[in-house]
Structure 1
Amino acid sequence: IQSLLIDKIESGDSFLYTFEFHNYGFGKNNLIAEIIFENDEYIENNIAFAGFASVIINEIRNDIIINEFMPAPSSGLPEWIELFNRSEKIIDLKNYKVADESSEIRVTIKSLFLNPGEYFLIIGDSSFFNKYNTKSKFVIAGFPSLNNTSDKIILSDSLNRVIDSLQYFSTWNGETGKSFERIDSEINSELAVNWSLTKNKNGGTPGEINSVTQKSFDAGISQIYFNPQKPFYGDDVIISAALKNYGKENASLKLILKEENNLLEETEINIAPNDSLNYTFHFIIEKLESTRNFTINIEFDKDQDSTNNYFTANISPGYNYNALIINEIMFTPQNGEPEWIEFYNKENYKINLSGWSVSDILTNPVKTKIIDSLFFIEPKSYLVLTKDSSIINYHDSITSKILVSSFANLNNSQDGVVIKDSYENIIDSVHYTASWKTKTGYSLERISFEENSNDPENWNYSFDIEQGTPGRPNSVSQKANDLAVAEISFSPAVPEYGNNVFINTTVKNEGFVEANNFSIKFYDSQSNNIFDEINIASLEKNNSIKITSGNFKIFDVANIFSEIKFSLDDNLSNNRDSIIVVPGFNKNEILINEVMFNPDADKPEWIEFYNNTNHEINLYGWRVSDILPSPKESIITNEYYKIFPSQYFIITNDTTAFHKNYNVDIPVFQCAFGTLGNSEDGILVYDFYKNVIDSLFYTSRFGNVKGSSIERLSFTGETNEISNWIVSINSAGSSPGFPNSV
């Protein structure tokens, strides 16, 4: 390379000479220095060797940058760092290193080339791919654990030169599951203003252009507008879209409007960089009647961020005041019945309650969302809003829809109900007070749909037998079609056993229109036997008509129903009524047969009767009494109980004591008929109509033996004939339930 001639060097001196040369090769270079001295007596130290490695300097600082990093991943996911080659060079990542404040890892020991504009991911472990789908180059490495709130990240090359670095702090306001993204690759990575949390819904953009970085091509939809913003049912609605070109280049795109999967309109639009515009579609929603769902999307092939190319919105109609009315309120329930509110849809179209609310008004009103999902009340239909589904246990039939809701507790003395639609329009409200016509345990019913909701004269407590009419027309309101059974009777007034009986029914038209083509059905509820049905052509409003059925023979107690069949009737609660028809009986068809009026001390008084006919006799409503000192009348039974022909039955004032002392297999009834005198008294037995069927007045002359009864001798003899009675000769002193001993 070079030589040098030296004249002399004094003994013990040193000499330093510097060579400079440029023609060395790439890679390892070996150098030799040699002294040539003819008189040298020791040549072992006349030669020396040295070497150095020559490298080609390719990348410089910030050719590769730290572009995105995830310091606080969601549970079960790893940390990761994204690198980006912002240069025009192909860079080999062999022996590159990544370090934080406490540790360092080598990225790869093999050549791995990163092309200009390419991303590279350093990933903690493979669980990364459970969330992210990336096509960029990556390596799974033993990752230095990044602190969640603050740390350093240093990227160095194979020569240990720092290529990029940053330090993040808690003031950056990181969030779990969201990466930090570099905003601009041209701005220093150490500047906090050049970093931002990702805007991507997936929590990061590994292997892709950052969501916070301005793209060359990026058009987006920021909003859909409806005009009017809060339309009412039947309004026409215009649709607009707010568009913006977020990119650096002009955007020529196609804007598409769809409803569900139906294409409504598409148009070509040009937007300059950073410009915005509102586009109004030619399509118009005509007469909005229900919730409509629309999608607007952009077709733009060059777009580098498609996440903002799609927007969905829906529009629902609001409703006019009193479209839905508060029709009935149960705020004073009893016996465990829940509070409830009934609504009525007055309109000829169905109403969607999604997003509606109900509230009380005192003292701190509580607003409750009725339902979030689609829920419709059909036209001219009811809805019952109840605190508990147990409402069905308190009413025979609720045919309307029922919704369970935890709405506010309603005060008994005064309070109110307010209903609002999804746009907070007040649809109806009621404020009741203690002066209103209310009754504990009864609902408060609206009289007229058309009158003011807050007029106390438009409300009354329910007249219905169930004390409320949830899901059906109110008992206090006049209906258009409302036929009622106003009165029911039968003739003759006291029918005897086997007589022909006629049912008389008065039907009144309580509606405000004429009723046409209805019928009256007569039937026995026990047998369900329809014994007559009469068709009626018409009945004017407020008029009545008396209808008499065909006859039927009465042999037993019958529960007879008279029922109106009218398909248009708005109020079925008054369409039927019933009457109990009981046959009367002739004298001596039941006979007094044996009397124990002076029993032993541990035994009760009793009377034995005998069915003196060849047919059954129902004792429903029969009575018995003594005579002295004054008659004490008592019901034998209020149940349907038949006595067979020639059958005995007993009436006593203590059935327990009777059965303890007598073993009989006949009906025994307990009855407080009074105390029978030992010297004289009497017995009267009455049928349902209080006809005296038999009677006995006895004295001591009839026989008076302690512990023995008096027994009838003959069923054909007169009951009050003293010769027809004698003291029992039975060894037990009496013969209840068996033929008399005499």
Structure 2
Amino acid sequence: MSLINWKSLRIVVGIFFVLHFSSFGQSYNSIVISEIMANPIPAIGLPTVEYLELYNRSGQAVFLKNWKLTIGTRSAVFPDSIILPDEYVVLCNKVNASNFIGFGKIIPLSTFLLPNEGGTISLYSPGNSLVFSITYENSWWPSDKRAGGYSIEMTDTDNPCGEQSNWEISNDIRGGTPAKVNSTQRSNPDFEPPVIQRVDVTSPTELRIVANEKLDSLVAVSGTLIELSGRKIVKRKLEPPHFHNLVVTLGFSLLAGETYNLSIKNLSDCTGNILRQADYTIGLPSKADSGDVVLNEILFNPPEGGVDFVEIYNRSRKYIDLKDWSLGNVKDGQPDVFGIITTENYILPPFGYLALTTNPEVIKEHYPANESGNFLKLSSLPAYSNAEGGVIFKNPEGKIYDRFDYNEAMHDPLITDTKGVSLEKSDTGISSEIISNWHSAAATTGNATPGYANSQIKTNTEKDTFEVEPGAFSPDNIAAGFTQIKYKLLQSGKIATIKIYDILGRLIKNLLRNQLLGTDGAISWDGRNENGDIVETGYYLILIDIFDPTGEKAQYKRKVVVVKN
């Protein structure tokens, strides 16, 4: 009968245990950060301690010894610890770890500090392999919860690539759910392909393709077809840890004054959604001359819960790099506070619009007509008074390129409430100092046009025109069940009322009531009456009444045929 050497057996089992557990769960997104408590004060029902929560979605127990957590530029190494499958674990500073006794498993770290304003948090396995990364911002918390006491939670851990759209503030009565299933947990899959926000030419031999979400590192580097007219692509690199920027190196330099056609095919996001094709025209950036880039629109009195924005416009045929340009305000008639809008290469294309703001998502919520994506997010914006003030735009050398001194009296006098209404430049070729060149944005376009052509832009028409297209339509037609009243106006500042009558003279629909029009636009009618019912087949009269602040009036009559199936 042989004797068992228990000491040797324990050593063998221990070695197997370490090797077994350290071999699993180290792939990208296998372990995720599922909750962030950056500002625990004032406490709602939890300890006044910053914490992160880890969740193991790998299906295997994972040995975390020598893993690394980075928050900004600071790093902390994990002690001996294990996270089991589907387990939630709290990370916090070891000084405060005792505060979480009774909540669940805790992993104390020697260095741990979460910035309230936001930052990048990354998780690395031994060997410095990136496992997970998230960049959060203070704006991810609703404005009424930013004072502190609430965490934000990942809503769907099966969508670990999701960023802001996959995080919500905790709705637990304590303000968070450390080491527990998240209170916001629900299915929130991503089915949308990535969108290329812009292409920056960072040098004559290098391009940076910027996407709106995390890209698939393998497909972006080897599976995406990128073609540039007259140039060969010799290298690609997806920049970690954000994975939004794909840097492309060219075999030969781009030439100044030339334009090139760029085609991008089969670009996959981190989830696997594929952008089939996107085409761009690019060129080397040129030095801006005076008047090339101008102020074009400003929202200085935002709607409730909104934020300010300033829009600039490139009125030249040049590609202009906005790196180190600055935006400022005016106090007592003099230039006051300035801030650099970007320290990175950011190319404004010829005749391109760009809205500068601290929160593009909030702007899009309040002005949903904008689908351009032409936003540059700033960490801060100079303060612009709701009553009067000034906007100054400077080049990298500190030269003032444009200045606009505004006041609320510049709004159209027929607008009763100017809150949430921007001021737009009518003619980009005329100085911003000319007050008559600025007008209130049209109500028919949502009271602002951030990142795209102004509603009050100067037109080439010789008289006011209103045309109905198509002249006959069927409201039952899903693809084209509406008609449009397309208009062009000679001047800005005209108010319109549009009513629709049947052949017996009965009022069917109030389409517009005393709304400020743009100079070029369209008003749609879906063939429904005031009750939301589809009208009967027949002829209908469209009566258009317009007037301006001087009292000048005009009336237009148009007809349309509705065919009800």
Superposition TM-score tier, normalisation by shorter sequence: 0.3 to 0.5
TM-score by length of 2: 0.35
Task: Name the TM-score, length of structure 1 as normaliser.
Answer: 0.27
Structure number with the higher helix fraction is 2
Whichever of the two has the greater Rg, that structure is 1
